[in-house]
Amino acid sequence: QVQLVESGGGLVQAGGSLRLSCAASGIIFGIDAMGWFRQAPGKQRELVALIPSGGKTNNADSVKVRFTISRDIAKNIVGLQMNSLKPDDAAVYYCYVVISTNRLSSPGAYWGQGTQVTVSS
């Protein structure tokens, strides 16, 4: 069993900042990637930022200057520091983790429940 717990969402004025955090727990042999997606009403879910294990970070062009993704490997935590928030950033943000539960199984993708980020203008 794997559980992802997200925190840090809320309401912020345009130009403000928020920090999201996601902690993975449960039976975890290894984590292949951790990151964040978001989905606004009427829009497709889109990549925000991702850290693949052994690879470079991958950031959406719309946020790469303003958002910073980080990962605490020891604690299985991924964070997202969001600065200079815009109304277009308002969405439900979903933690995304690719996890192997043992050394023999294929990795699986897990999604958090989502945390709401609201940006007022």
- What would the mean pLDDT of 23-32 be, rounded to a whole number? 92
Q: What pLDDT is attached to residue 56?
A: 80
Average pLDDT estimate for 20-43 = 95
- Per the CB < 8 A criterion, the answer to whether 39 and 24 are in contact is no
pLDDT-derived band at 64 (thresholds 50, 70, 90) equals confident
Residue 89 confidence (pLDDT) above 90: yes
User: Cβ of 78: how many Cβ atoms within 10 Å?
Assistant: 29
Q: Would the pLDDT of 55 be above 80?
A: no
